[in-house]
Amino acid sequence: MSNTNSGNVGIVIVSHSHKIAEGAADMVRQMVGDAVPLAWTGGDIDGGLGTNVAGILEAIETAWSPAGVAILVDLGGAETNSEMAVEMLREDRRARVVVCNAPVVEGAVIAATESSGGSPLAAVKRSAEEFYA
Amino acid sequence: MHDANASRAAEKYVPLTGAAVLVNAVGLHARPSVKLTQCAKRFAAKIELALAADGPWTDAKSPVKVMRVKAPHGATLYFRVTGPDGEAALAAMLELVNDGFGEV
């Protein structure tokens, strides 16, 4: 949950499972390094499997970068709750946050790799989404 | 091609080529692919790689495409580099592969 280079696009990982979100973040940190703001959230507010909007908003705040934030999600509610969280952001921030259509673990690593090279948000999203291309 | 500058740069420069053998135990798996693309992105030049001297060529700045090459241990990795900082880029790519991505 560190924010070491605020110039690069931030990465947020949203999974139904706390362990998956944390593990995916571990992979990003070990494979890509510390040059990318990174945050993760997983589980509902009672600690069970699920996602919650407040947790996603907090993660976006933690990974915030002027270059924007790319969100990687797993299934269903992770996506809809992430979209809801984006809608709740201040208007000037809303346009700089995107939800990627990519597998959560692989997408997070690829998005972070792209971000670590200083790529803009659109390129980070496009690169993560190459998995489904 | 997500780097229009690299494409433009490529038009004015003669491609430089080089090759190195993948000495790290597992070849071009996930972690080396990330390191390779991170290294390539430091340069303005268009950087491509292939498993044969005549291609097919893969954009070395795309982590997804580099992983799809699935180059195994012992394979020779060919590079084709075109751009203003091509010499430095080629040297850096070859050094990274020769050093086994810091894993050997």
- CATH code of residue B65: 3.30.1340.10
Cβ of B42 and A117 within 8 Å? yes
pLDDT at A133: 67
Give me the residues of B, 45-74, that contact A with CB < 8 A: 61-65
Q: What amino acid positions of B are annotated as catalytic residues?
A: 29
Predicted confidence (pLDDT) at residue A1 exceeds the cutoff of 90: no
Domain borders along chain A are: 10-132
Cβ of A118 and B41 within 8 Å? yes
Containing structural domain, residue B80: 4-102
Cβ of A109 and B41 within 8 Å? no
What pTM was estimated for this model as a whole? 0.86
β-pair type (A69-73, B16-21): unpaired
Confidence check on the interface: ipTM exceeds 0.95, yes or no: no
Domains: count for chain B:
1
Residues A45, A62: Cα–Cα separation, whole Å: 18
A36 contacts A112 by C-beta, under 8 angstroms? yes
| Mean per-residue pLDDT, A65-82 | 96
> CATH second-level architecture of A10-132?
3-Layer(aba) Sandwich (3.40)
